[in-house]
């Protein structure tokens, strides 16, 4: 018979729309509107998982997000396997595949259950105590075995194919939770016309009103008021209503993160729509109306499938039309379970209610139940549950006012609804850094002083009466929106109040009792008591030692019971013990939601130059430099990196090479004080640099270390064209702006980034001039008219250019600056003109080798943020006459002028074929005892085709004093020898550059 | 300083826009034509000459073809059709003669993308953290901000349908355009199970 | 994510800004006149109070302007923002690094953690 536990009518499910999904391969039928939990229960399935540590059979405890036990893997296809989903919140739909977790070989027969028999040894801190020795066994033996045996679901292995979205939103009032308080708040705020966002984690807004069949609101049945209110809110332009949306993180300055589940509930998967959307809401005011969580009772074997929360029984019966059992015993310490018992009875169950409270401590509710024909046992404790894979009975006994326990009685049943009172969901309030206060009348921590612009309302604040929730919500919403208006809503009174019981009184041997506090982590009352006895008195320590309150549910059902037990053991009050810290997320959030669209091409911007497409088409391989993708080398068929770079290097020195240098940072520095500004920023002198001339500039941080370098051209008396390194462009501009704005208000100078305005085509080699000569107009290219380190404006191929005669290779060279959108046309024209000269495109690898042959440094390779100009042999560039520049004073610091600093030198390996490793350490004597004294390290090392040998640059302590000395350099196989030399390997007189 | 002559056709990183199109599904994301743009920097009293420089920070004046956006106390971004660049440079030079200022051609640094349609703000808010509501960011607003991991300038022009210009640096254009297209897909409304 | 009031642009999200550390440290007019000790203090020594701190911020992805702010490092609340070069109106509330401020405790254990 399908769905034997489905009631004949009622509930908010759509009986006209049946659905089918699978659970462990078995087809389960349900209706549209079911959760996986409600559909399983409709089919009499209570056993849905095995517990974390003891592999005990576990069922469905709750109907909501606090569910600790019923964790399923949901399989929506390849890459869409999602572990640890709470069956109580996953919406059932056609085609869904669900699987239980943490068992082998099957849910019914689980070998791991042996752990349960061994439970006396698996006490709190078991792992810490047992697997201490030998230490080396931990990584190889203990940890893998423990990880295999314990745990929750399996992480998916395939890439997630779904789309995830991100959305920044602003509103005046954000309301979290659409129960009675939240709805009243949203309504009150919406009436003012302010922008309101109302987010609710459920598929249907309404909270407790969705399963309240008896209350009246404003003279109408609660469900009618709910429907009218939602229609009202939905029709308002200023309201965004977000179902299936969990507010999971409350951050600084009312920045609240929401996770919206957009398409998981749709059978078709939603097409192109995102699976989930992260809402980053910045709210003027926040109303927290997230409700409360019911507490389980702690008694022996309270974790048997079929034992659930009392209110959850009510929800399954009223909202989903499912009776979780035919014979239900309610066990409670408070009033709210009486309503659940009445509703279960009305739905057709046989019901008994057991209340720990003495008759005299109860209100009118026992009489009301008895009038309905329900047996009520007040002043009774629960000694334990019977049954293993499904509860079969509850053992109860009377308890006298003095605590004496009388004769026990077995109440047979197939379902238990338990209620140990309520805990307000103060998670978001606490995340907002609000201060919690303990309210003894509620036995709960409730929101106290706010730290941000927020207020709580309803059960989240410990208010459980329906009319009071509505009034509180109305007031909170109005206040948040700055309105004086209040609208009172009459409602049926709610029976509230409970007597806190940490552990149900029992006469059993306490060492034999398995009474669970934290169902998800298999933590019993005994474990917590043991931890306290062993000296863990801080609640944070107890949490970590016993694991109570950890994992996916973060102890929503268990925290107050655990806290109460610790307080009892320490003979302290609850506020004396305090709570553990609430941290985001409130409920688990997928990685996809946090990542959003930032994957693949959108993970990070990939910056490419105007020449990129050409380079791709001509077979270039690319390397990442900052966010840029630069052409690395251009292999011809059959060439590897080594062969291609050797060919490119020779081509430049013997003919002409073309290189895309567009990624160089560029800054246009303009203003009457431009030269003075340059003087202060760089170590070089700038006042006398004539327009049309270039200078290699070096820039320090205030601590005296090299920040960046680059060629600078003076375009006009009041305009400099500055270049920076590729990676340093943004850093240098920010550094300059900082000084200009905060230190030197007196200077009239303006900085504009032109990095991307100008593409740069470097043409290098003895034939460079011959290639561009026919293309250039308005510039005399002769060596006399246009010497090395000059800059001219003119046109090339009809395109305006700033033509630099500069060289980073030591050859005759030009860097042709042209507007980016025209660079490709110019590049192609140069390639055409260069063909008769054997023009060769080269990449960054060849650029590196060529500059190393000349000993030119690269900032970030020869420097590492602790290198001064003198360290790299560039002290001669410092303008002696300048009184000050950024970093000058630091060049006189004691440690900067001390002997022993590492200095840039060349290294010539004794075996010319050996190419040293960059980063390799250098020592004077490999025979010295370890730890050896390191003299320095290799900064650059290449095979040089032009020198027909390896070359290397290194930073070595007092290296310039060691010319000709043999040093020892580490290799993967030991040491090799190299001789210290000047850091120039080719054309030491620098004649080629002036050709 | 100014080298605003365009004798060679420009190769735009996102290609040339196709013929004027209408928003589909509430959104149109269209790379802009090759345009001219200048960064103007100027301190001191902002006497209105030929240029509307004295408007509040984070506003734009003009229309969607010729506009001046004030991005900071001493910074303006100016956009116009390509052919008018030389004229602007001359006019500015005349207008600001004798004043310390900087007018730099950044036509090729910037890439424009027009985002139009009822969903435009939602699409932009996928990566832009600002409040783009009518009160906080009405037509006539302009500011530098972020879109995902890229810096942009966001301008809202007046128009019958919400109409925004996104300006970014050339090498970020592929990312920004891709981000907007992805956001446009994700912003499409999904069937909502009606509340009962 | 903090919300920071740029003096030119109003409230903007933290991601548009860069923090530049302690404010009101003026670069000496003549660094050469400082002895090594004073110069190293200027370079490296900063206060790190638990309480109200004067900081430099730059609206780098906005108007690009540097400005100053008073921020409570415990609550992350901004007391005020003001232009570079100006003095805060509430300078008396800046926490001296030598005298720790009284800290508001969210819960007993949060303060202990």
DSSP string, B63-114: -SSSEEEEEETTEEEEEEEGGGHHHHHHHHHHHTTTS-EEEEE-TTTEEEEE
Alpha helix (H) ranges present in A61-151?
Answer: 114-117, 126-130, 137, 143-149
Q: Is residue B19 situated within a structural domain?
A: no
Q: Domain range for residue B72?
A: 28-42+52-186
Among chain A residues, the shortest Cα distance to C36 is held by A893
Q: Write the pLDDT tens digit of every residue in A567-602.
A: 999 999 999 998 888 999 999 999 999 999 999 999
Give the confidence band of A151 by pLDDT, cuts at 50, 70, 90.
low
- What integer pLDDT is reported at residue A164 of this predicted model? 97
CA distance from start to end of chain A: 96
Distance CA A86, CA A8 (A): 27
Q: Could you tell me which residue, A442 or A76, shows the higher pLDDT?
A: A442
Res. B22: pLDDT tops 90: no
Distance CA A700, CA A681 (A): 8
A888 and C108: CB-CB below 8 Å?
no
Res. B48: pLDDT tops 80: no
Q: Give how far C73 is from chain B: nearest CA, Å.
A: 24
B130 and C61: CB-CB below 8 Å?
no
Distance CA B14, CA A792 (A): 31
Res. A995: pLDDT tops 90: no
- Residues 6 or more apart whose CB falls under 8 angstroms from that of A310 comprise A294, A330, A331, A332, A336, A337, A340, A341, A417, A418, A419
- What integer pLDDT is reported at residue A858 of this predicted model? 97
User: Which residues from chain C sit within 8 angstroms of residue A580, using beta carbons?
Assistant: 109
Give the confidence band of B24 by pLDDT, cuts at 50, 70, 90.
confident
- What integer pLDDT is reported at residue A433 of this predicted model? 95
A169 and B169: CB-CB below 8 Å?
no
Residue A802 near residue A760 (C-beta atoms within 8 A): no
Distance CA A573, CA A255 (A): 34
User: Which residues from chain C sit within 8 angstroms of residue A579, using beta carbons?
Assistant: 107, 109
Phi, psi (degrees; rounded to nearest 5) at B71 = -95, -15
- What integer pLDDT is reported at residue A144 of this predicted model? 66
Give the one of C1, C85, C107 whose C-beta lies nearest to A252's C-beta.
C1
Q: What is the mean pLDDT of residues A38-67?
A: 94
User: Which residues from chain A sit within 8 angstroms of residue B5, using beta carbons?
Assistant: 795, 800
Residue A921 exposed, middle or buried by CB count within 10 Å (0-12, 13-18, 19+): middle
Among chain B residues, the shortest Cα distance to A721 is held by B1
A670 and B10: CB-CB below 8 Å?
no
Residue A516 near residue A116 (C-beta atoms within 8 A): no
- What integer pLDDT is reported at residue A145 of this predicted model? 64
Tally Cβ neighbours within 10 Å of residue A129: 11
- What integer pLDDT is reported at residue B97 of this predicted model? 85
ipTM above 0.85, yes or no: yes
Among chain C residues, the shortest Cα distance to A433 is held by C106
User: Which residues from chain B sit within 8 angstroms of residue A258, using beta carbons?
Assistant: none
Give the one of C1, C15, C65 whose C-beta lies nearest to B72's C-beta.
C65
Token pair for residue A388? 């293993």
pTM > 0.90: yes or no: yes
Q: Write the pLDDT tens digit of every residue in A744-757.
A: 989 999 999 999 99
- What integer pLDDT is reported at residue A142 of this predicted model? 65
Token pair for residue A984? 């120039």
Q: Give how far A605 is from chain B: nearest CA, Å.
A: 5
Domain boundaries, chain A: 164-292+424-480, 899-995
The domain made up of A899-995 has a fold known as Elongation Factor Tu (Ef-tu); domain 3 (2.40.30)
Pairing state between β A949-957 and A902-909 = antiparallel
Distance CA A399, CA A470 (A): 38
Give the confidence band of C104 by pLDDT, cuts at 50, 70, 90.
very low
CATH code at position B107: 3.30.1360.120
Q: What is the mean pLDDT of residues A979-983?
A: 98
Alpha helix (H) ranges present in A452-595?
Answer: 466-480, 525-533, 539-546, 559-570, 574-577, 591-595
Give percent of chain A with pLDDT exceeding 90: 89
Distance CA A59, CA A47 (A): 5
Q: Give how far A894 is from chain C: nearest CA, Å.
A: 8
Res. A613: pLDDT tops 70: yes
Q: What is the mean pLDDT of residues C34-52?
A: 95
Res. A1: pLDDT tops 80: no
C32 and A888: CB-CB below 8 Å?
yes
A602 and B179: CB-CB below 8 Å?
yes
- What integer pLDDT is reported at residue A687 of this predicted model? 95
B151 and C61: CB-CB below 8 Å?
yes
Q: Write the pLDDT tens digit of every residue in A795-832.
A: 999 999 999 999 999 999 999 999 999 999 999 999 99
**HSE (CB half, 13 Å, CA atoms) of A471?**
12
User: Which residues from chain A sit within 8 angstroms of residue B13, using beta carbons?
Assistant: 610
- Residues 6 or more apart whose CB falls under 8 angstroms from that of A731 comprise A707, A708
CA angle (A88 as vertex; A83, A89 as ends), nearest 5: 70
Q: Which CATH superfamily is domain A164-292+424-480 in?
A: FAD/NAD(P)-binding domain (3.50.50.60)
3-class DSSP state of C93: helix
B15 touches chain C (CB under 8 A): no
Among chain B residues, the shortest Cα distance to C14 is held by B129
- What integer pLDDT is reported at residue A120 of this predicted model? 73
Token pair for residue A507? 């006469």
Scanning B99-158 for CB atoms below 8 A from C yields 129-130, 143-146, 151
- What integer pLDDT is reported at residue A402 of this predicted model? 85
- What integer pLDDT is reported at residue B194 of this predicted model? 46
- Distance from chain centroid for Cα A540: 24
Helix (H) or strand (E) holding A28: strand A26-32
Tally Cβ neighbours within 10 Å of residue C61: 20
Q: What is the mean pLDDT of residues A665-688?
A: 97
Tokens 């254990």, residue located: C109
Torsion angle of the four alpha carbons B177, B179, B184, B188, in this order, in degrees rounded to the nearest 10: 170
Q: Write the pLDDT tens digit of every residue in B105-125.
A: 999 999 999 999 999 999 999
Give me the helix-helix angle, A844-853 and A641-654, nearest 10°. Answer: 60
User: Which residues from chain B sit within 8 angstroms of residue C1, using beta carbons?
Assistant: 129
B129 and C61: CB-CB below 8 Å?
no
Distance CA B58, CA A572 (A): 58
A254 touches chain C (CB under 8 A): yes
A671 and B188: CB-CB below 8 Å?
no
Sign of the dihedral defined by the CA atoms of residues A479, A480, A483, A486, in that order: negative
- What integer pLDDT is reported at residue C97 of this predicted model? 63
- Residues 6 or more apart whose CB falls under 8 angstroms from that of A794 comprise A776, A777, A778, A779, A800, A801, A803
Give the one of B143, B146, B151 whose C-beta lies nearest to C9's C-beta.
B143
Maximum mean pLDDT: which of A353-362, A504-513, A578-587? A353-362
Q: Is residue B3 situated within a structural domain?
A: no
What CATH number is given for C3-112 in this structure? 3.30.2270.10
A746 touches chain C (CB under 8 A): no
Phi, psi (degrees; rounded to nearest 5) at A470 = -65, -45
- What integer pLDDT is reported at residue A132 of this predicted model? 63
Average pLDDT, chain B: 89
Domain boundaries, chain C: 3-112
Give the confidence band of A108 by pLDDT, cuts at 50, 70, 90.
confident
User: Which residues from chain A sit within 8 angstroms of residue C66, using beta carbons?
Assistant: 737-738, 741-742
Residue A799 near residue A779 (C-beta atoms within 8 A): no
A602 and B185: CB-CB below 8 Å?
no
Looking at the structure of chain B, the number of domains it has is 1
Residues comprising chain A, all counted: 995
Q: Could you tell me which residue, A509 or B57, shows the higher pLDDT?
A: B57
User: Which residues from chain C sit within 8 angstroms of residue A737, using beta carbons?
Assistant: 58, 64, 66
Helix (H) or strand (E) holding B99: none
Res. B4: pLDDT tops 50: no
Average pLDDT, chain A: 95
- What integer pLDDT is reported at residue C113 of this predicted model? 31
Q: Write the pLDDT tens digit of every residue in A893-906.
A: 999 999 999 999 99
Q: What is the mean pLDDT of residues C73-101?
A: 84
Q: What is the mean pLDDT of residues A294-314?
A: 98
Sign of the dihedral defined by the CA atoms of residues B31, B34, B35, B36, in that order: positive
């Amino acid at each position: 018979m399908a769905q034997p536990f489905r009631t004949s009518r009622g509930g908010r499910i759509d009986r006209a729309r049946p659905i089918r999904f699978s659970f462990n391969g078995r087809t389960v039928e349900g209706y549209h509107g079911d959760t996986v939990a409600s559909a399983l229960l409709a089919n009499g399935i209570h056993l849905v998982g095995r517990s974390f540590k003891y592999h005990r059979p576990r069922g469905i405890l709750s109907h909501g997000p606090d569910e600790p036990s019923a964790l399923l893997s949901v399989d929506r296809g390849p890459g869409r396997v999602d572990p640890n989903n709470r069956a109580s919140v996953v919406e059932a739909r056609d085609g869904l595949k669900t699987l239980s977790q943490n068992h082998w070989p099957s849910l019914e027969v689980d070998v791991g259950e042996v752990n349960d028999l061994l439970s006396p040894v698996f006490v709190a801190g078991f792992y810490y105590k047992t697997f201490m020795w030998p230490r080396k066994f931990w990584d190889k033996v203990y940890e893998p075995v423990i990880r295999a045996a314990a745990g929750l679901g399996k992480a998916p292995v395939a890439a997630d194919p779904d789309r995830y979205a991100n959305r920044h939103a602003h509103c005046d009032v954000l309301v979290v939770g659409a129960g009675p308080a939240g709805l009243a708040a949203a309504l009150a705020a919406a009436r003012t016309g302010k922008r309101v966002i109302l987010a609710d984690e459920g598929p249907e807004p309404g909270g407790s009103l969705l399963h309240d069949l008896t209350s009246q609101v404003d003279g109408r049945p609660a469900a009618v008021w709910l429907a009218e209110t939602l229609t009202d809110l939905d029709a308002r332009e200023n309201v965004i209503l977000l179902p299936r949306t969990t507010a999971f993180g409350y951050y600084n300055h009312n920045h609240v993160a929401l996770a919206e589940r957009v398409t998981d509930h749709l059978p078709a998967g939603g097409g192109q729509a995102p699976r989930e959307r992260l809402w980053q809401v910045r709210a003027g005011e926040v109303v927290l109306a997230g409700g409360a969580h019911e507490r389980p009772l702690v008694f022996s074997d309270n974790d048997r499938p079929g034992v659930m929360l009392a209110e959850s029984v009510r929800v399954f019966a009223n909202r989903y039309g499912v009776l979780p059992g035919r014979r239900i015993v309610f066990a409670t310490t408070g009033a709210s379970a009486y309503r659940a018992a009445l509703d279960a009875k009305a739905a057709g169950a046989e019901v008994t209610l057991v209340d720990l409270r003495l008759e005299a401590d109860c209100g009118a509710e026992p009489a009301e139940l008895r009038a309905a024909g329900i047996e009520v046992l007040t002043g009774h404790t629960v000694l334990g549950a019977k049954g293993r894979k499904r509860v079969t009975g509850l053992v109860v006994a009377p308890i006298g006012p003095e605590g004496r326990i009388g004769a026990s009685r077995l109440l047979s049943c197939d379902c238990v609804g338990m209620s140990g009172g309520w805990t307000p969901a103060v998670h978001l309030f606490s995340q907002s850094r609000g201060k919690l206060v303990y309210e003894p009348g509620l036995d709960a921590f409730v929101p106290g002083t706010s730290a941000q612009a927020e207020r709580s309302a309803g059960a989240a604040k410990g208010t459980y009466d329906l009319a009071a929730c509505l009034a509180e919500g109305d007031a909170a919403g109005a206040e948040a929106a700055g309105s004086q208006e209040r609208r009172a809503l009459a409602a049926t009174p709610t029976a509230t109040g409970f007597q806190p019981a940490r552990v149900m009184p029992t006469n059993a041997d306490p060492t034999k009792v398995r009474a669970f506090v934290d169902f998800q982590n298999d933590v019993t009352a005994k474990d917590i008591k043991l931890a306290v006895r062993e000296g863990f008195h801080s609640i944070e320590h107890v949490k970590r030692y016993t694991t109570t309150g950890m994992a996916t549910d973060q102890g929503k059902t268990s925290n107050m019971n655990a806290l109460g037990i610790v307080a009892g053991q320490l003979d302290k009050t609850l506020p004396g013990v305090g709570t553990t810290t609430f941290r985001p997320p409130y409920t688990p959030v997928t990685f996809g939601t946090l990542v959003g669209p930032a994957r693949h091409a959108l993970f990070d911007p990939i910056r490419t130059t105007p020449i990129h497409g050409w380079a791709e088409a001509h077979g270039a391989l690319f390397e990442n430099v900052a966010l840029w993708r630069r052409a690395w080398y251009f292999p011809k068929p059959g060439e590897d990196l080594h062969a291609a770079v050797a060919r490119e290097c020779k081509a430049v020195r013997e003919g002409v090479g073309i290189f895309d240098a567009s990624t160089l940072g560029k800054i246009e520095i303009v203003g009457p004080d431009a030269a003075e500004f340059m003087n202060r920023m760089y170590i070089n002198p700038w006042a006398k640099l004539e327009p049309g001339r270039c200078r290699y500039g070096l820039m320090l941080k205030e601590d005296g270390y090299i920040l960046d370098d680059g060629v600078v051209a003076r375009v006009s008396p009041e305009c400099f064209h500055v270049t920076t390194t590729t990676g340093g462009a943004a850093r240098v501009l920010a550094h300059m702006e900082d000084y200009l704005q905060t230190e030197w208000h007196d200077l009239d100078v303006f900085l504009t980034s032109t990095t991307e305005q100008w593409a740069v085509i470097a043409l290098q080699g003895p034939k460079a001039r011959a290639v561009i000569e026919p293309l250039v107009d308005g510039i005399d290219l002769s060596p006399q008219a246009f010497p090395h380190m000059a800059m001219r404006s003119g046109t090339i191929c009809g395109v305006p250019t700033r033509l630099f005669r500069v060289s980073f290779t030591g050859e005759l060279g030009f860097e042709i600056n042209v507007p980016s959108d025209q660079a490709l046309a110019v590049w192609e024209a140069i390639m055409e003109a260069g063909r008769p000269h054997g023009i060769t495109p080269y990449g960054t690898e060849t650029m590196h080798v060529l500059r190393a042959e000349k000993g030119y440094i690269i900032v970030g390779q020869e420097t590492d943020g602790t290198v001064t100009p003198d360290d790299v042999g560039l002290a001669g560039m410092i303008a002696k006459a300048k009184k000050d520049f950024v970093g000058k004073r630091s060049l006189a610091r004691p440690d900067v002028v001390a002997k022993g600093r590492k200095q840039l030198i060349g290294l010539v390996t004794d075996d010319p074929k050996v190419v040293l490793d960059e980063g390799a350490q250098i020592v004077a004597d490999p025979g010295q005892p370890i730890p050896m004294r390191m003299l320095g390290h290799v900064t650059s090392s290449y095979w040089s085709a032009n020198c027909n040998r390896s070359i290397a640059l290194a930073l070595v302590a007092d290296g310039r004093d060691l010319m000709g000395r043999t040093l020892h350099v580490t290799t993967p196989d030991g040491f090799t020898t190299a001789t210290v030399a000047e850091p120039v390997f080719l054309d030491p007189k620098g004649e080629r550059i002036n050709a | 300083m100014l080298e605003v002559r365009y004798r060679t056709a420009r190769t735009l990183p996102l290609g040339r826009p196709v013929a004027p199109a209408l928003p589909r599904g509430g959104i149109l994301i269209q790379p802009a034509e090759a345009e001219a743009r200048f960064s103007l920097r100027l301190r001191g009293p902002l006497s209105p000459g030929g240029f509307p420089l004295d408007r509040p920070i984070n506003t734009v004046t003009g229309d969607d073809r010729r506009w001046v956006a004030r991005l900071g106390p001493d910074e303006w971004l100016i956009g116009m059709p390509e052919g008018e660049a030389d004229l602007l440079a001359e006019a500015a030079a005349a207008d600001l003669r004798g004043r310390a200022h900087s007018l730099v051609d950044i036509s090729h640094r910037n890439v424009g993308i027009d985002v139009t349609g009822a969903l435009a703000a939602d699409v932009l808010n996928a990566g832009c953290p600002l409040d783009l509501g009518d009160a906080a960011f009405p037509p006539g607003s302009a500011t530098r901000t972020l879109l995902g991991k890229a810096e942009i300038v966001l301008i809202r022009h007046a128009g019958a349908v919400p109409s925004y210009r996104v300006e970014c640096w050339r090498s970020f254009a592929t990312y920004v355009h891709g981000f907007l297209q992805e956001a446009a897909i994700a912003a499409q409304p999904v069937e909502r199970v009606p509340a009962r | 994510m903090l919300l920071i009031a740029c003096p030119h642009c109003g409230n903007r999200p933290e991601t548009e800004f860069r923090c530049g550390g302690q404010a009101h440290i003026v670069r000496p007019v003549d660094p050469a006149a400082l002895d090594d000790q004073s110069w190293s203090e200027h370079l490296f020594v900063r206060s790190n109070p638990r309480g109200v701190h004067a900081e430099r911020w730059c609206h780098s992805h906005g108007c690009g302007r540097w400005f100053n702010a008073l921020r409570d490092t415990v609550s992350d609340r901004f007391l005020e923002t003001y232009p570079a070069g100006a003095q805060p109106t509430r300078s008396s509330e800046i926490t001296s690094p030598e005298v720790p401020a009284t800290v508001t405790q969210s819960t007993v254990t949060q303060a202990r953690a």
